[in-house]
């Protein structure tokens, strides 16, 4: 049976119930007020989060990873959003149970460390990864000489230091590597090679392999170049000029093509060379312009130019550039009026100016003042005094360096009309 409460107990129970109901109503009102002032907001975090890797088994390497970041949507009060940072959120994948050598999808775990924040959504929720065993092995260094040594030289066997390097990385990729290659270009050098070069991992078919690491990253390559017997490489060509160019002219440059040749011959004949090979004489007496000639080389008996091509290899092309000797000259020339209107006359101060000229000495020596025009433009100028800059015209081939003074004063005046002559009546 239920106990029968007395009147006093019932009054106390009713009072207690009223107090509890009042507290509940007060809390609801307070929570509503707080929610109105600080509403809960659901939105995407302002930046993607980096997906960390945890519990990766020892001796493995992650060779395939589809996603490196995750975008999250969160729910949090507005005041929490104002202070929420990426350090409050962690995203990771757990590799502790991932199989070796197989692609697997793993969940992207997102943990929020700040109170009052709930994870609503993460994109992607799953990501694909593949683990492989991390292995290493030693492979030989192969040197590939791309081009050939210059004529008259041979290359000795190239040497790499170290001769072997370590290749490490995912097991499938490392197993495909049988060597590392180093490409060397001689590019016409006549000196031995000593270079540090980066080796590239290669398959048995010399195809490049990616995703592996080579240690050390650089190897030293030495290739010795030796001169062939009975060969004399890179012998300079000396041009044999006869006579002198015309007076007041000079030779400014001589170009020989080719400027050096490789000779093949008997050792005794090669030893008699004076360090160069001469051309046959080229006559330049009285030349006033450049001279171009294809001439023979004066080769000692038993010596020939390599390659042995009688049509071209035994000759060279010579360009002798002949130019006038340049000098400078200052000369005086009169000032001339240009465009002066009828009925006016002009006087200049000074009446002549000095011009500074540069050009071929022969041409400068023959110049006279009348060859230089000093013009002052007087078109539409009113009577009076004016200061004007003259225009200077010099002959072709001559360069104007300056005018002294740079401007002249001109006085323009009207010309008085002449009085008519008196007429005498006949007597």
Answer whether residue 120 is part of any domain: yes
Q: pLDDT band at residue 425, thresholds of 50, 70 and 90?
A: low
Say if 161 falls within a structural domain. Answer: yes
Q: How far apart are CA 393 and CA 369, in angstroms?
A: 12
CA distances from 382 to 221, 379, 387, 389 (A): 85, 9, 13, 17
User: How many Cβ atoms sit within 10 Å of the Cβ of residue 214?
Assistant: 20
Q: What is the pTM of this model?
A: 0.48
Per-residue pLDDT at 264: 81
pLDDT at 200: 96
152-210 tens-digit pLDDT: 677 888 999 999 999 999 999 999 999 999 999 988 787 889 999 999 999 999 999 99
302 and 332 share one domain = no
CATH number at residue 89: 2.170.120.30
Which is more confidently placed, 380 or 28?
A: 380
Q: What is the DSSP string of 365-404?
A: HT--GGGSEEEEE-TTPPSEEEEEPPEEE--TT-EEEEEE
Give the separation between CA 56 and CA 75, rounded to whole angstroms: 32
Q: In the predicted model, is pLDDT for residue 362 greater than 50?
A: yes
Q: Which whole number is the average pLDDT over 89-99?
A: 94
Q: What span, in angstroms and rounded, lies between the C-alpha atoms of 370 and 405?
A: 19
Mean pLDDT on 279-295: 92
Higher pLDDT, 105 or 233: 105
Task: Report the C-alpha gap between 158 and 149 in whole angstroms.
Answer: 13
Name the domain boundary from 68, 99, 132: 132
**DSSP for 166-214, written as a single string:** EEEEEHHHHHH--EEEEEE--TT--S-EEEEE--EEE-TTS-B--S-EE
Q: What percent of the chain has pLDDT over 70?
A: 87
Please write the tens of the pLDDT for every residue from 167-177: 999 999 999 99
Domain hosting residue 264, numbered range: 231-324
Residue 172 to residue 210: CA distance in whole angstroms: 11
Least confident window among 52-66, 200-214, 231-245, 385-399: 231-245
Q: Do 304 and 278 fall into the same domain?
A: yes
Asked whether residue 5 is domain-assigned, the answer is no
Residues 197 and 256 in one domain: no
3-state SS, residue 301:
coil
CATH of the domain at 250: 2.170.120.40
pLDDT of residue 204: 93
Report yes or no on 29 lying in a domain: no
Residues 224, 159: Cα–Cα separation, whole Å: 9
- Interval 16-38 mean pLDDT: 61
Q: Is the pLDDT of residue 38 over 60?
A: yes
Residues 354 and 373 in one domain: yes
* pLDDT on residue 308: 46
Q: Please write the tens of the pLDDT for every residue from 61-71.
A: 998 888 999 99
Q: What pLDDT, in 10s, does the model give residues 304-316? A: 887 644 445 688 9
Q: Is residue 295 included in any domain, yes or no?
A: yes
Q: How far apart are the first and last CA of the chain?
A: 185
How much is the pLDDT for 207? Answer: 94
pLDDT of residue 422: 55
* 241 shares its domain with 310: yes
Q: If residue 14 lies in a helix (H) or strand (E), which one and from where to where?
A: helix 7-37
Answer whether residue 4 is part of any domain. Answer: no
Q: What is the pLDDT of residue 309?
A: 46
- Closest C-alpha among 303, 305, 298 to residue 258: 305
What's the CA gap between 301 and 270, in Å, rounded?
A: 10
Does 205 share its domain with 257?
no
Tokens 């006559």 belong to residue? 283
Indicate if 206 and 177 belong to the same structural domain: yes
Percent residues over pLDDT 90 in the chain: 49
Residue 381 lies in a domain: yes
Q: How many residues does the chain have?
A: 427
Instruction: Return mean pLDDT, the chain.
Output: 86
pLDDT on residue 36: 58
Residue 207 contacts residue 159 (beta carbons within 8 Å): no
pLDDT at 268: 77
* pLDDT at residue 25, rounded to an integer: 64
Domain stop point among 266, 296, 324: 324
At residue 33, the pLDDT reads 47
Question: ω before 162 within 30° of 0 (cis)?
Answer: yes
Average the pLDDT over 200-225 and give the result: 94
Supply the pLDDT for residue 307: 64
Q: What is the pLDDT of residue 9?
A: 65
Q: Which of 117, 132, 147 is the last residue of a domain?
A: 132
DSSP strand E in 2-158: where?
40-44, 49-50, 52-54, 60-65, 69-77, 89-94, 103-107, 109-112, 118-123, 126-145, 153-155
Assign 149 a pLDDT band (cuts: 50, 70, 90).
Answer: confident
Residue 256 is classified by DSSP as: E
The string of DSSP codes covering 325-346 is PEEEEEEEEEEEEESPPTTEEE
Least confident of 192-196, 257-261, 379-383, 415-419: 415-419
Question: Number of structural domains, the chain?
Answer: 4
Q: Which two tokens stand for residue 362?
A: 């022969």
Tell me, yes or no, whether 127 and 66 share the same domain.
yes
Is 20 a domain residue? no
Q: What mean pLDDT do residues 29-34 have?
A: 50
Omega into 347 within 30° of 0, i.e. cis?
Answer: no
- pLDDT at res. 262: 82
pLDDT at residue 44, as a whole number:
94
């Amino acid at each position: 049976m239920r106990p029968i409460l007395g009147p006093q107990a019932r009054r106390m129970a009713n009072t207690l119930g009223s107090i509890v109901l009042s507290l509940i109503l007060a809390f609801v009102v307070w929570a509503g007020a707080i929610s109105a002032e600080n509403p809960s907001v659901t939105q995407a975090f302002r930046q993607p989060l980096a997906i960390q890797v945890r519990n990766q088994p020892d001796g493995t390497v992650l060779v395939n990873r589809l996603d490196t970041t995750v975008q999250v949507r969160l729910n949090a009060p507005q005041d929490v959003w104002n202070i929420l940072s990426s350090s409050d959120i962690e995203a990771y994948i757990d590799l502790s149970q991932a199989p070796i050598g197989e692609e697997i999808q793993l969940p992207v775990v997102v943990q929020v460390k700040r109170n009052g924040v709930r994870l609503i959504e993460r994109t992607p929720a799953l990501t694909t990864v593949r683990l492989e065993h991390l292995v290493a092995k030693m492979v030989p260094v192969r040197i590939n000489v791309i081009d050939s040594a210059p004529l008259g030289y041979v290359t000795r066997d190239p040497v790499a230091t170290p001769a072997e390097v370590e290749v490490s990385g995912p097991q499938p990729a490392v197993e495909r590597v049988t060597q590392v290659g180093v490409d060397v270009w001689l590019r016409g050098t006549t000196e031995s090679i000593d270079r540090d070069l980066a080796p590239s991992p290669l398959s048995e078919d010399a195809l490049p392999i990616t995703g592996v690491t080579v240690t050390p990253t650089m190897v030293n390559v030495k290739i010795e170049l030796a001169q062939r017997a009975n060969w004399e490489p890179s012998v300079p060509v000396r041009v044999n000029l006869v006579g002198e160019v015309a007076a007041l002219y000079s030779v400014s440059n001589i170009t020989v093509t080719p400027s050096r040749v490789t000779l093949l011959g008997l050792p005794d004949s090669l030893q008699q060379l004076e360090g160069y090979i001469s051309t046959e004489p080229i006559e330049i007496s009285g030349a006033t312009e450049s001279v171009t000639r294809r001439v023979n080389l004066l080769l000692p008996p038993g010596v020939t130019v390599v390659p042995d091509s009688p049509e071209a290899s035994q000759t060279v092309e010579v360009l002798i550039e002949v130019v006038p000797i340049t000098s400078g000259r200052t000369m005086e020339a009169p000032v001339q009026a240009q465009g002066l209107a009828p009925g006016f006359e002009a006087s200049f101060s000074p009446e002549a100016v000095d011009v500074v000229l540069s050009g071929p000495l022969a041409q400068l020596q023959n110049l006279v003042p009348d060859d230089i025009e000093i013009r002052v433009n007087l078109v539409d100028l009113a009577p009076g005094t004016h200061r004007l800059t003259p225009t200077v015209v010099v002959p072709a081939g001559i360069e104007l360096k300056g005018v002294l003074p740079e401007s002249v004063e001109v006085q323009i005046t009207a010309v008085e009309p002449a009085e008519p002559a008196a007429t005498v009546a006949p007597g």
